[in-house]
Amino acid sequence: MTAISTPGARAGAVPRRRVPPAIRRRRLLLTVANHSVAIALSIMFLVPFAFIVSTALMTNQQMGSLSIWPSPFKWSNFTDLFEFFPFWRYAWNSLLYAGLGTVGVVLSGIPVAYALSRLRWRGRQVSFVLLLSTLMLPVQVTIVPLYIVFVRLGWIGSLKPLIIPLFFGDAFTIFLLRQFFLTIPQELSDAARVDGANDLQILLRVIVPLAKPAIAAVALFNFLYCWNDFFSPLLYAGNNPDTWTLAISLQQLTQLSRGILANLQMAASILFTLPVLVIFFLAQKVFVEGVTLTGVKG
Amino acid sequence: MATVSVRSPAADQARAAERRRRRRRSAWRRQLVALAFLSPWIIGFSVFYAYPILSSLYFSFTRYDILTDPVWVGLGNYEFMFTSDGRFWTAVRNTAWIVAVIVPLQIAFGIGAALVLTRVRRGLSFYRTVFFLPTMVPLVAAALGFVFLLNPGGPVNAVLRFLHLPEPLWFRDPVWAKPGLALMAMWMVGQTMIIFLAALLDVPRQLYEAADLEGAGPFQRFRHVTLPMISPVIFFSVVIGVINGFRYFTEAYVVSKSGDWDNPVGTPQDSLLFYTSHLYNQGFEGFHMGYAAALSWVMFLVIMACTLLLIRSSRRWVHYQGGFR
């Protein structure tokens, strides 16, 4: 089909019946209507961003007034912020949690997904159903005994309870990788086996190179999940300011300095959100495809 | 290898036994290899799922504050929960409210936005990015943003004043606090929308053409072609939505504490006290670990029941492609 707004564009190449003007007008109207709805929705989605950015640039006096546009732009809000709280230390903690957590999730997820998708053995179906059932369970269901265990181990007030469990497999990651591994033709493994490769070699030399996009997707999802995570860090690291992640510290800004002004708070939120948005724009395709994979194949 | 030239029943038998043995041995080897690959998850599953779920069943029958040994109280925690804990029922009501409002709205809005995207040709990727962008904002940051947007003297109320509409106090008013959170959930509809967009694009064109031939209007086409074809995704969204209702916490926590640090979880007036907030309060602020374990077990059972119920009921209204019904 040709684009609706340029009906005559291909007239020279393919002889075709002219679209009657009445229908053309109707199509044009429909296009305009569709775009106006899309633009209205876009504005709805973007306006909160605009307000937050403009507030982050306002002076304290301007905060009290009703004006919406910052005048003058107070860029120094973004640097004043660092006097209020040790931003970089919290950023480092977030990075530790998200970075090490992602390494753990990927390292432990790959072999498990391999066993669940490309090896034939007794109990595979049962294991997969168990995995799926843990996929449904929120962390809150297991939190009480785990908290008690971590108290006994002396891990509360550190990042250990957040990171170490991720080295023992994450249901969502395993599930996604398994779905992807299933799409790799079995003949490739068989050929490698004939050449004398064992399963570990097949996994590392055949499967992993082919599954790079899927591995990148789960790594990204995990990184962002950890970066944004609030409940677990609050629980395990909340009582020790040295181990706060950015998500926690942002929320605690209200406590750190009572009545901190919204402009600084919004500036801090922007600094916290910015890396995520940068990652998103760099890897947009991975996201959209990954979300679709979880939704439709789930 | 056995030679082929000898052909006696005894040798045949011996060879068959040898083959069986070898097959059994290789099956064993395969099993061991699989278990080796599986080992991280076997440890993870036993330590981080099986053990906690079972031991929280035990703790749920005790009174336990971590410092002293657990004391067996039988069904005491459950009895207290259902008969005398008023805040438990408040939390249940609030959670039910948020699920009942947010899930249908997100599905309707998600389908609507996705439908709009299927109809624009140019600028599709731009619109899709814009619609999806809010879901990328970390929840804490989004919640803080909405606390600011919806504060009584904030931008949203300025717009409402300009339009001569009533200006609610949003997160300061127990009646308007939950609608404020629902508004935020609508802003973050992108994830749902992307899934629906993929499903809508998967609907075979021929079905629409057939419907056109039968003389179906746009509404009938949507009702009898689109809706059945995307019903598996609706089903998926409902299941995930219900489970997410139970873990609903971060937004409410940030909003409650935003006015004043000392605000209890659930401010204003427990209108934002959700199931997980109650669990958090009981377990990790009051250290009533036994009671918190009981709460988490009830949550476990209800989630399992909801999932089963949804799966069973789905047979009546979810149409999977390729099968009848």
Residue span of the structural domain in which B53 resides = 9-59
Distances (CA, A) of B214 to A23, B182, B222, B269: 21, 40, 14, 56
Across the interface, whether the CB atoms of B116 and A41 are under 8 A apart is answered yes
pLDDT value at residue B148: 81
Q: Do B132 and A121 touch (CB under 8 A)?
A: no
Q: Both B160 and B281 in a single domain? A: yes
A107-116, A120-129, A227-236, B303-312: range with lowest mean pLDDT: B303-312
Can you give the pLDDT at residue A31?
86
Identify which of B249, B301, B247, B290 has the alpha carbon closest to the alpha carbon of residue A148. B290
Out of A38, A119, A292, the one facing B195 most closely (by C-beta) is: A292
Regarding whether B149 and B199 lie in a shared domain, the answer is: yes
Contact criterion met (CB < 8 Å) for B148 and A231: no
- How far is the alpha carbon of B3 from chain A, nearest alpha carbon, in Å? 24
Mean pLDDT confidence for B180-201: 89
B79 pLDDT tier (thresholds 50, 70, 90): confident
Q: Is residue B267 classed as helix, strand or coil in its secondary structure?
A: coil
Tell me: do B195 and B103 sit in the same domain. yes
Query: Are residues A231 and B38, on separate chains, in Cβ contact within 8 Å?
Result: no
* A2, pLDDT greater than 50: no
Average pLDDT over residues B125-131: 87
Considering only the beta carbons, identify the residue of B40, B191, B199 that sits closest to A296.
B199
Q: A230–B131: do the CB atoms touch at under 8 Å?
A: no
Q: For position A71, what pLDDT does the model report?
A: 72
pLDDT at site A260: 57
Q: Do A142 and B49 touch (CB under 8 A)?
A: yes
Reported as a pLDDT band with limits 50, 70 and 90, residue A106 is very high
Q: Write out chain B residues lying below 8 Å of A139, CB-based.
A: 247
Residues B91, B221, single domain; the answer is: yes
Any domain includes B166? yes
For range B126-136, the mean pLDDT: 88
Cβ contacts of B141 on chain A, cutoff 8 Å: 250, 269-270, 272-273
State how far the alpha carbon of B79 is from the alpha carbons of A48, B9, B63, B266, B304, in Å: 45, 73, 13, 23, 21
In this prediction, residue A290 has a pLDDT band, given cuts at 50, 70 and 90, of low
Q: Is residue A230 part of a domain?
A: yes
Q: Give the model's pLDDT for residue B7.
A: 63
Q: How far apart are CA A190 and CA A241, in angstroms?
A: 53
Helix or strand (DSSP H, E) at A147: helix A143-153
In a domain, B263, yes or no: yes
Chain A residue numbers touching B107 (CB-CB < 8 A): none
Q: Chain B partners of A44 at a C-beta cutoff of 8 Å?
A: 187
Residue B269: predicted pLDDT: 82
What is the per-residue pLDDT for A3?
A: 38
B110 and B254 share one domain: yes
Considering only A150-154, A287-291, B39-43, which range has the smallest mean pLDDT? Answer: A287-291
Nearest to A142 among B52, B254, B289 (CB): B52
Residue B312 has pLDDT above 60, yes or no: yes
Strand duo B62-63 + B71-72: pairing: antiparallel
Same domain, B150 and B190: yes
In a domain, A40, yes or no: no
Counting one residue from chain A and one from chain B, the pairs whose CB atoms sit within 8 A come to: 250
Structural domain range at position A245: 85-297
Q: Is A157 helix (H, G, I), strand (E, B) or coil?
A: coil
pLDDT at B291: 92
Q: Assess whether pLDDT exceeds 80 at residue A221.
A: yes
* Mean pLDDT in residue range A4-18: 51
CA–CA gap between residue B300 and residue B246 (Å, rounded): 10
CATH number at residue A258: 1.10.3720.10
Binding-face residues of B in 199-218 toward A, CB within 8 A: 199, 202
Q: Does B41 touch chain A (CB under 8 A)?
A: yes
Taking residues A152-164, report their average pLDDT.
89
Instruction: Determine, yes or no, domain membership for A229.
Output: yes
Asked if pLDDT for residue B13 goes beyond 50, the answer is yes
> With a threshold of 0.95, does the pTM exceed it?
no
In a domain, B165, yes or no: yes
Q: How distant, in Å, are the alpha carbons of A266, B9, B53, B168, B255 from that of A58? A: 10, 96, 50, 25, 23
Say yes or no for a CB contact (<8 Å) between A298 and B44: no
With an 8 Å Cβ cutoff, are A48 and B187 in contact?
Answer: yes
**Could A174 and B116 be called an inter-chain contact, meaning their C-beta atoms sit closer than 8 Å?**
no
Average pLDDT, integer, range B20-46: 88
pLDDT band at A109 (very low <50, low <70, confident <90, very high): very high
| A28 within a domain of the structure (yes/no) | no
In a domain, B76, yes or no: no
Give the rounded percent of residues in chain A with a pLDDT score beyond 70.
Answer: 86
Residue A209 lies in a domain: yes
Any domain includes A32: no
Q: Do both B104 and B178 map to the same domain?
A: yes
Sort out which chain A residues have CB atoms less than 8 A from B307's CB and list them.
136
B17/A contact by beta carbon, under 8 A: no
Question: Searching chain B, which residue's CA lies closest to the CA of residue A114?
Answer: B37
Least confident of A14-28, A194-208, A236-250: A14-28
Residue A8 has pLDDT above 50, yes or no: no
In this structure, are B16 and B153 located in the same domain? no
A146-170 residues labelled b (16+ CB within 10 A) or e (exposed): bbbbbbeeebbbbbbbbbbbbbbbb
Res B325 pLDDT > 80: no
The per-residue pLDDT for range B144-179, each reduced to its tens digit, is 888 888 888 777 888 888 888 887 888 877 888 888
Least confident of B160-174, B244-258, B304-318: B304-318
pLDDT at residue number A100: 95
For chain A, the domain total comes to 1
CA distance A156 to A137: 23
| Average pLDDT of chain A to the nearest whole number | 82
Across residues B221-248, what is the average pLDDT?
85
Which residue is closest to A151 within chain B, CA to CA? B66
**Is A80 a domain residue?**
no
Work out the minimum CA distance from B318 to partner chain A, whole angstroms. Answer: 13
Question: What is the helix (H) or strand (E) element at residue A192, kind and residue range?
Answer: helix A186-194
Residue B285: CATH number of its domain: 1.10.3720.10
What average pLDDT score do residues B14-35 get? Answer: 85
Q: d(Cα B179, Cα B156) in Å, to the nearest integer?
A: 14
- A76 class by beta-carbon count within 10 Å (0-12 exposed, 13-18 middle, 19+ buried): exposed
Q: Mean pLDDT across the stretch B232-246?
A: 84
ipTM for the predicted complex: 0.82
pLDDT of residue A33: 87
Domain count, chain B: 2
The verdict on a CB contact (< 8 Å) between A144 and B289 is: yes
